[in-house]
Amino acid sequence: MYDNEQIVRASFDLNYVSEYLIQAQWAEFVELKKAIHEISERTGRQLSILDIGIGNGRVPRHLSAIHEIWNRIHAYVGTDNARACIRISNEMIAELGIGDKITAIHMDATELDKQGRKYDAVIATWFTAGNFFPDDFSFDGYTYSEEKCGLSVNPKFSKIFMSAYELLNNGGEIIIGSCYKDNEATRLKQEEAYRKMGMTVITGKQETFTATKEGFWSQRFSKEKIFAYLPFIPKENFRFIDLDTYDYAVQVRIRKL
């Protein structure tokens, strides 16, 4: 599962990660830098950022090395539901000496509404948004169910990003760094990536997500599905930015006006 430190570390080890995933990291990072710059310019202040699923701390590690961007941030809070990720992130924070600006907190994303502060940006990078599987999904003895696998609703996804939207200051944004696009070619790339990490895929072409026996799960999205999951946000508040030319990943920016 996500708290198996050996599996967690392997999932971040670029020797085990597919080239598509590696390049998606950098494509979303380029767009994230642009977004931070734009929001800071628009609001006229340094930003407070909440990172849902900080993972191994890759994003703040690279942001902190770019002074023109890091200087636009006054506080960076990263959460993760895996204690292994918090340990890895804290190692990075201590290594770089950036604890004055960044904090890593063990927290499930469904508890975001317990945050006692507002943010200028809430981010979820590297396909994290697709990891929020329904509470009734069972990895043990999984069998296909047409009713469940179409995922016409995903209460967990909706709850998390409703809370994220409520945490935003006016003019702030949710930035979903990358989402898998829902198509057959992407499904095959997801399966290839999990197998390269040594996992066993338990889903097929009939599902709109890919899951593994080891407890990893990632959904694919269309614009229509994002709109359906977040009906409380006006459609004109959304921006969709392709991260490649082969229909693999898209960044979603959602502005609170």
- Domain locations along the chain: 5-135+152-182+220-255
CA 4 to chain centre: 19
Q: What is the CATH number of domain 5-135+152-182+220-255?
A: 3.40.50.150
Signed CA dihedral, 113, 229, 177, 204: sign only: positive
Residues 111-125: tens digit of each pLDDT: 998 888 999 999 999
Residues 62-107: tens digit of each pLDDT: 999 999 999 999 999 999 999 999 999 999 999 999 999 999 999 9
d(CA 9, CA 30): 24
d(CA 91, CA 223): 37
d(CA 143, CA 139): 9
Q: What pTM, to 2 d.p., does this model score?
A: 0.92
